[in-house]
Structure 1
Amino acid sequence: MTGEYEGRENLSEDTKDLERARQSLIEELEAINWYQERIDATRNEELRRILEHNRDEEKEHVAMLIEWIRKNDSTQDRMFEEHD
């Protein structure tokens, strides 16, 4: 979490919120990978469909977080525009 180096009490609320969003993004991307591994590993079609559904929900969460970060970090937004 933010503040590991400088102490949370020294950070603005905006910095804390951006870190929360970025950390959540990391966790959502990890979850996508975990679900994909399980999808690849299972031989049960019903379970596969459930896992695919769950993976796709995580992808929606990633999109939502990226959009929020873009709205709240103008430099990051510009980088997305430049590398589109």
Structure 2
Amino acid sequence: MNLKSTAALLVVAASAPAALGGPLAYAMCQTDCNRLAVECYAAAGFTFGVTIVAAPPAIMACNVGLGTCMATCATVGLFAPTP
């Protein structure tokens, strides 16, 4: 590739819109959901991923929030148009 074609490729790539959906957006969203769940568990005094016999209401609320966040990621991240 010569210098002119490389420069043209860089101009085109720089002017392309950012991806708003697709597998990468979904993965990034899921990572944020899990980070928030870890923080929620820590705020309740528990460790995320550790099995407990009877989950207290605070942990149940964290789980509901995690499920809602992941469902939103699936709706927005996977099904949003990818420009």
Instruction: Report the TM-score, using the length of structure 1 for normalisation.
Output: 0.45
Q: Relative contact order (alpha carbons < 8 A, sep ≥ 6): 1 or 2 greater?
A: 2
| Rg larger for | 2
- Bigger share in helix: 1
